[in-house]
């Protein structure tokens, strides 16, 4: 029976090792790891908390009611404001200082309307330099409601 | 009150459990958003796509994607008659600035926007050795940027080529389906910027979402269906030549 002491000492060493493992593990593994699966659940909240750049057209229409009205009657009614004007979350937060850049229709409109063989056949396309002779598109077309008749009689 | 040894033994595990919850914080940072009520998907109505690249620009602006890397991009396909197995595909700068005039005159020509398919059974999350990438409870494949080692297993595992290593952080990067926007009640940046309504964000758990009617009434396909990845990017009018 005097040899039983060896077993107890061995068991104590294993126990110490186990405790050390559990302590180190609890320090190294993030607290939220494993809540939903084999990952850190708090990462979801961190990604969700990132700031936005595009405010969304509902926010724009809150102030720019005239443009929204005009746009809602034309063929561009489905085109969101920031599709052309770019990301405007900063402007929406602070309209005084963050001013959107003025757009150049000569380069803006052809992004969508320059003729390309791969575009749907029903989509209105022109060869821009040939169509306008170099003039800016908004010489004739009002971008928010681009049909010529609606803009007031340019033939 | 004196605490007996017996009492302490009972209290310690309870305290440990409570402390774990205190440290864990709240995973859902956005108020009024419940993960259990959402199962996100994307609908891409291909016959509407004009290849303007608005989605690519919007994505790069919103998510600060480095130049030359893409979380979403647009491809232009050209398929000669009866050459369905050999489509000619180009995507200059990811289609970010639109497409130049095509070198082809005949055949079949169309655009295909691509992005992470947010697979329900995603190959990329299964290979991560450290649990840095995962499918969230609302069906979005995300990367934990603080946990990723940059080992590139997931980049190779994605059959759609939707992942890359961000050269600034040296970690895996990909489309988050604008998780920071959709949890705030907004749509994704690409859907917001799409002028033709080609791209539509959808919540499959919302019975009022128009996607249910659309899926019932249109021919819809996912990319590489034979891989059974559970892709949630539904393409309407997808040509068989698209890879």
Find the length of chain B: 243
Per-domain residue ranges for chain A? 4-48, 54-98, 102-155
CB contact under 8 A, A45 and B28: yes
Instruction: Fill in the DSSP letter of residue B204.
Output: T
Q: Tokens 């605490």 identify what position?
A: B3
Token pair, residue B230, equals: 């559970």
Token pair, residue B151, equals: 């080992």
Nearest CA in chain B to A86: B58
Distances (CA, A) of B155 to B89, B99, B143, B179: 21, 27, 12, 20
Mean pLDDT of chain B: 91
In sequence order, what E strands does chain B have? 40-45, 72-79, 88-90, 108-115, 133-135, 141-143, 164-166, 171-173, 199-203, 220-221, 233-236
| CA–CA separation, B103 and A79 (whole Å) | 30
Nearest CA in chain A to B78: A118
Which pLDDT band, with edges at 50, 70 and 90, does A129 fall under? confident
pLDDT in tens, A61-90: 999 999 999 999 999 999 999 999 999 999
Per-domain residue ranges for chain B? 35-120+189-236, 123-173
| CA–CA separation, A95 and B203 (whole Å) | 32
Query: Which of B49, B78, B186 is opposite residue A52, by nearest beta carbon?
Result: B186
Per CATH, B35-120+189-236 and B123-173 having the same topology is answered: yes
CB contact under 8 A, A82 and B101: no
Helices (H), strands (E): how many in chain B?
Answer: 7, 11
CB contact under 8 A, A48 and B33: yes
Neighbours of B201 (CB within 10 A): 20
Q: Give me the mean pLDDT over the B223-240 stretch.
A: 96
Disruptive mutation site among A23, A30, A34, A39 for chain B (greatest number of B CBs within 10 Å) = A39
CB contact under 8 A, A48 and B77: no
| CA–CA separation, B95 and B60 (whole Å) | 12
| CA–CA separation, B14 and B11 (whole Å) | 5
Domain B35-120+189-236: give its CATH code.
Answer: 3.30.70.20
Q: Tokens 């009657």 identify what position?
A: A73
pLDDT at B133 over 70: yes
pTM: 0.86
Q: Tokens 């010489």 identify what position?
A: A139
Token pair, residue B214, equals: 């659309």
Q: Identify which of A136, A80, A48 has the alpha carbon closest to the alpha carbon of residue B27.
A: A48
Nearest CA in chain A to B111: A118
As a dihedral over the C-alpha atoms of residue A70, residue B56, residue B93, residue B225, rounded to 10 degrees, the angle is -130
Would you state the pLDDT for residue B72? 97
CB contact under 8 A, A117 and B109: yes
Architecture of domain B123-173: 2-Layer Sandwich (3.30)
Per-residue DSSP letters for B7-59? HHHHHHHHHHHHHHHHHH--S--STT--GGG--EEEEEEGGG-----HHHHHH
Measure in Å the smallest separation between the Cα of B225 and chain A Cα atoms.
25
Q: Give me the mean pLDDT over the A8-34 stretch.
A: 95
Neighbours of B104 (CB within 10 A): 15
Token pair, residue B173, equals: 């990067």
pLDDT at A47 over 50: yes
Higher-pLDDT residue of A18 and B105 is: A18
pLDDT in tens, B7-18: 777 777 666 665
pLDDT in tens, B135-189: 999 999 999 999 999 999 999 999 999 999 999 999 999 999 999 999 999 999 9
Taking the Cβ of residue A49 and every Cβ of chain B, the question of whether any pair is shorter than 8 Å is answered with yes
Which residues on chain B are in Cβ contact (under 8 Å) with A52?
62, 180-181, 184, 186
Disruptive mutation site among B74, B108, B136, B190 for chain A (greatest number of A CBs within 10 Å) = B136
pLDDT at B87 over 80: yes
Q: Tokens 């799409």 identify what position?
A: B194
Token pair, residue A18, equals: 């186990």
Which pLDDT band, with edges at 50, 70 and 90, does B53 fall under? very high
Burial call B147-169: b when 16+ CB within 10 Å, e when fewer: bbeebebbbebbbbebbbbbeee
Judged by average pLDDT, the poorest of A39-48, B76-85, B213-222 is B76-85
Taking the Cβ of residue A103 and every Cβ of chain B, the question of whether any pair is shorter than 8 Å is answered with no
Disruptive mutation site among B32, B144, B176 for chain A (greatest number of A CBs within 10 Å) = B144
Whether residue B232 contacts residue B118, with contact meaning beta carbons closer than 8 Å, is answered with yes
Sheet with strand B40-45: strands edge to edge: B199-203, B40-45, B233-236, B220-221
Would you state the pLDDT for residue B4? 79
Measure in Å the smallest separation between the Cα of B103 and chain A Cα atoms.
9
pLDDT in tens, B185-202: 999 999 999 999 999 999
């Amino acid at each position: 029976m005097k040899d039983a002491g060896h077993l107890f000492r061995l068991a104590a060493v294993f126990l110490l090792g186990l405790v050390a493992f559990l302590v180190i593990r609890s320090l190294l593994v993030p607290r939220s790891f494993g809540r939903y699966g084999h990952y850190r659940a708090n990462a979801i909240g961190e990604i969700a908390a990132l700031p936005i750049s595009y405010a969304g057209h509902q926010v724009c229409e809150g102030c720019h009611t005239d443009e929204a009205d005009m746009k809602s009657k034309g063929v561009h009614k489905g085109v969101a404001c920031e599709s052309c004007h770019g990301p405007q979350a900063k402007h929406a937060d602070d309209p005084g200082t963050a001013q959107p850049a003025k757009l150049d229709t000569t380069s803006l409109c052809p992004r969508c309307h320059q003729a390309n063989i791969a575009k749907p056949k029903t989509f209105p396309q022109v060869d821009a330099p040939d169509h306008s002779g170099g003039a800016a598109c908004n010489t004739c077309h009002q971008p928010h409601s681009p049909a010529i008749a609606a803009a007031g009689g340019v033939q | 009150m004196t605490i007996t040894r017996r009492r302490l033994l009972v209290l310690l595990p309870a305290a440990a459990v409570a402390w774990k919850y205190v440290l864990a914080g709240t995973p859902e940072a956005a108020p009024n958003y419940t993960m259990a009520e959402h199962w996100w998907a994307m609908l891409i109505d291909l016959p509407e796509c004009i290849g303007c690249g608005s989605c690519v620009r919007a994505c790069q602006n919103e998510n600060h994607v480095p130049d030359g890397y893409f979380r979403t991009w647009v491809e232009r396909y050209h398929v000669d008659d009866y050459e369905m197995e050999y489509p000619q595909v180009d995507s200059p700068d990811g289609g970010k600035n639109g497409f130049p005039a095509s070198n082809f005159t005949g055949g079949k020509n169309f655009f295909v926007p691509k992005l992470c398919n947010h697979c329900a059974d995603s190959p990329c999350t299964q290979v991560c050795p450290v649990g840095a990438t995962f499918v969230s409870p609302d069906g979005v494949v995300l990367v934990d940027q603080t946990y990723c080692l940059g080992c590139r297993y997931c980049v190779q595992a994605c059959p759609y080529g939707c992942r890359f290593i961000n050269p600034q952080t040296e970690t895996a990067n990909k489309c988050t389906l604008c998780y920071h926007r959709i949890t705030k009640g907004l749509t994704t940046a690409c859907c917001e910027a799409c002028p033709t309504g080609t791209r539509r964000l959808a919540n499959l758990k919302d019975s009022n979402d128009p996607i249910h009617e659309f899926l019932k009434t249109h021919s819809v396909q996912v990319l590489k269906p034979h891989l059974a990845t559970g892709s949630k990017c539904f393409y309407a009018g997808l040509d068989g030549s698209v890879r």
